[in-house]
Amino acid sequence: MLKVENISKDFKVGFRKKTEKILDDISFYIKPKEVVSITGNSGSGKSTIARIISGTIKPDQGNIFYRGNLLISPNQSFSTEYRKDIQLIPQQPFLSLDPKQKVGDAIAETILAHGLSPSKKEAAQQVNALLEQVWLPCQLANRYPSQISGGQAQRIVIAKALALNPKLLIADESTSMLDILAQAQIIQILLNLMTKYGLSILFISHDKPLVQAFSNRIYHLSEGKLILQNKE
């Protein structure tokens, strides 16, 4: 479904043209209904991979194919027609919410932007359903990001991604701020969607037991290289 070929990425550091190689010739693939996990030390470049696939930064080299079509390359930016299919759950939930927008509106906005609901009223209902799915009371929808807790923010971000019924979900440390129960709940939702709609997941996490528990393949990222690890 998604094929990543020979991706490399440098980051600028310092004033002159000094750069640092973060990703070096990365290749992997994700099949439909598959959970692929990436682990690695902190700062190894996992989030960078996620951001490249979701189209917010461009790779320096390499191509990414989605369903056989070229999705991203150094001189092709993410084409909007796949926006709905590939969703990222970012690592820092607070920073990725508009401080002046109520969290419920943030979800409703995404739904409406993709025409997934005919009217605002229905969008509101969908939002409530989504919030329930991620174990949040619907009153929370009326709060601003500064008025919710870390875990709640993380779940809002997840709900926002799920709202679009994506085909590929990139979850970057998505359960790191959740309690065990909520985490289990989210994982179950994801597994459900996977069987029902053929969702694939790129799961980025540190939590070894968690990763072990439900992924099909595990990659380990270290010093810019991606190494396949067999499930133990």
Partner 1 sequence: MKKILSITGLTIDSQLMHGSHRIVNDLSFELEQGETLAIVGESGCGKTMTALSIFGLLPENCTASGTVTFDDCNLLSLREKELSRMRGIDFVLIPQSGADFLNPGLKVRTQIYETLKRTGIKDKRILEKTACDLLNSVSFQNPDSIMNKYPFQLSGGMAQRVVLAMGLTFSPKLVISDEPTRGIDSNTSMAYLKELTSVFSDSGIVIITHDISVADYCKNIFIMYAGECMEYGDCTRILNNPSHPYTKSLIAALPINGFSLNSRKASIPQDFLNTGCTFYPHCPQSTKKCQTDKPEKQIIDQTKVWCHHVKS
Partner 2 sequence: MSDITKKIISSILCLAAIIIINFFLPRLMPGDPVLMLTGQNEESISAAQYQSFEEKLGINYPVSIQFKNYLVNLFSGDLGYSYHYNDTVANLMKNRIPNTLQLAIPSILLASILGMFLGCTMGYTKKQRLDKSVTTAFIIINAIPSFLLAMVIVTFFAFKLRLFPLGGLNSIVVPHHAILAFGDRIKHLILPISTIVLLSLPPKYMMVRNTVKSATKEKYVLYAKARGISSFRIKFVHIFKNVCPPFITLVGLNLAFVISGSMITEIIFSINGMGELLYEAAIYRDFPTLQGCFFIISIIVILANILTDITCVMVDPKQRFGFYESN
Partner 3 sequence: MKAIKRTSFKKEFYSLYFGIIIMIVFLLWSILPGIFSPYNPKEMFSPWLAMSLSHLLGTNDMGYDIFSELIYAASRTLFTGFCAAFVSLIIGTTLGTLSGYLEGWAGEGLDFIINIFLLIPTLPMMVVVAAFVGPGTFNIILIISLLGWCSTARAVRARTKQIKHSPFVEALTISGISEKQIVLKHIIPNLSDVIFAKYIMSVASCMLMEATVSFMGLGDPTHVTWGSMINFAFSRGGFSRGVLNWYLPPGICITLCVLSFYYINSHFEEKSKIVVNEEQSYMD
Ligand X SMILES: Nc1ncnc2c1ncn2[C@@H]1O[C@H](COP(=O)(O)OP(=O)(O)OP(=O)(O)O)[C@@H](O)[C@H]1O
**Interface residue list for partner 1 (CB under 8 A):** 11, 13-14, 39-48, 91-95, 132, 135-137, 139, 146-152, 154-155, 172-173, 176-185, 187-188, 206-210, 212-213
The CA distance from 43 to 13, in Å, is 15
Looking only at the bridges linking them, the beta strands covering 69-72 and 61-66 are antiparallel
Residue type, 153: A
CB-count exposure of residue 14 (10 Å: 0-12, 13-18, 19+): exposed
Q: Give φ, ψ of 217 to 5 degrees.
A: -135, 150
Burial class from Cβ neighbours inside 10 Å (0-12, 13-18, 19+) for residue 50 reads buried
Contact between 43 and partner 2 per CB under 8 A: no
The option from partner 2, Mg ion, partner 1, none interacting with 215 (CB < 5 to 8 A, set by class) reads none
Which of 3, 21, 33, 58 is in the footprint of partner 2 by CB under 8 A? 58
Q: Check if the beta carbon of residue 128 is closer than 8 Å to that of residue 141.
A: yes
d(CA 27, CA 62): 9
Minimum CB separation of residue 114 from Mg ion in Å reads: 27
For residue 172, the minimal CB distance to Mg ion (Å) is: 6
Contacting residue, 19, 113, 150, 197, with Mg ion by CB under 5 A: 150
Q: Which two tokens stand for residue 186?
A: 């989210």
Q: Closest CB to ligand X belongs to which residue?
A: 151
Residues 2-31 as x/- pattern, contact with ligand X by CB under 6 A: ---------x-x--------x---------
Between 149 and 168, how does the x/- string for binding to ligand X read (CB under 6 A)? Answer: xxxx----------------
Cα–Cα distance, 112 to 218 (Å, whole number): 35
Answer yes or no whether residue 208 interacts with ligand X by CB under 6 A. Answer: no
Binding site for partner 3 (CB under 8 A): 54-56, 80, 83-84, 87-88, 90, 92, 95-102, 104-105, 108-110, 112-114, 120, 123-124, 127, 138-139, 141-144, 147, 157, 160-161, 164
